[in-house]
Amino acid sequence: MGKRSSSIRRNTKETQVALDLVLDPDLGCDPSSKIDTPVPFITHMLEAFARHGVFGMQVAAQGDIEVDPHHTVEDLGLCLGAAFKEALGDSAGVRRYGSATIPMDETLVTCAIDFCGRPAFVWKVEGLDGRIVGSFDCSLAHEFWAAFAARAECNLHVLLHHGQNPHHIIEAIFKACARACDAATLVDERLGGVVPSTKGTLSS
């Protein structure tokens, strides 16, 4: 199997995003070294996602953050989801399902994902609305992952078991989602290149 990768470009009057993803990076690569967005906190979260998912990622984004970072954050989620869908192709031989539970100090988060070709998003996270980390509106974490699930055409469930610090909560979410995505996109040699579905296809 060759290197699974994708290149997504999104250009609108509100945002310009270039995102390149490699699911199987070379040994010793630094997956989080080339992420540049105008929203420092989301840059930090994407760096964590790449590092803990062990994905090769390059991101260059611009957006109308003088209006509101919402457009940029949402479009980054759309592009990352589209990148996973493109890189997975028909998903032949992949495990398809992945989950991870990540602690971060007082916080505990579970992410479960199924790259099944049907978008569904469940967000059981309380305590972020109305809170700010630096200049980042914490409610945008929901918008990012909702956009991701829509474009990746996956089932994505995010559950906060407990936590108080909003930075810890969001960072644990990104790390848990990274580990879950890594587990779900790994190739299982036992499948012999077969699509992991009794239907023979992963599509709606």
Domain ranges in the chain are 5-191
Q: What is the pTM of this model?
A: 0.92
Strand pairing category for 155-162 and 107-114: antiparallel
**What's 5-191's CATH class?**
alpha beta
What is the pLDDT confidence band of residue 67, given thresholds at 50, 70 and 90?
confident
Residue-wise pLDDT for 165-196, tens only, equals 999 999 999 999 999 999 999 988 776 666 65
Which uninterrupted H or E stretch holds 171? helix 166-185
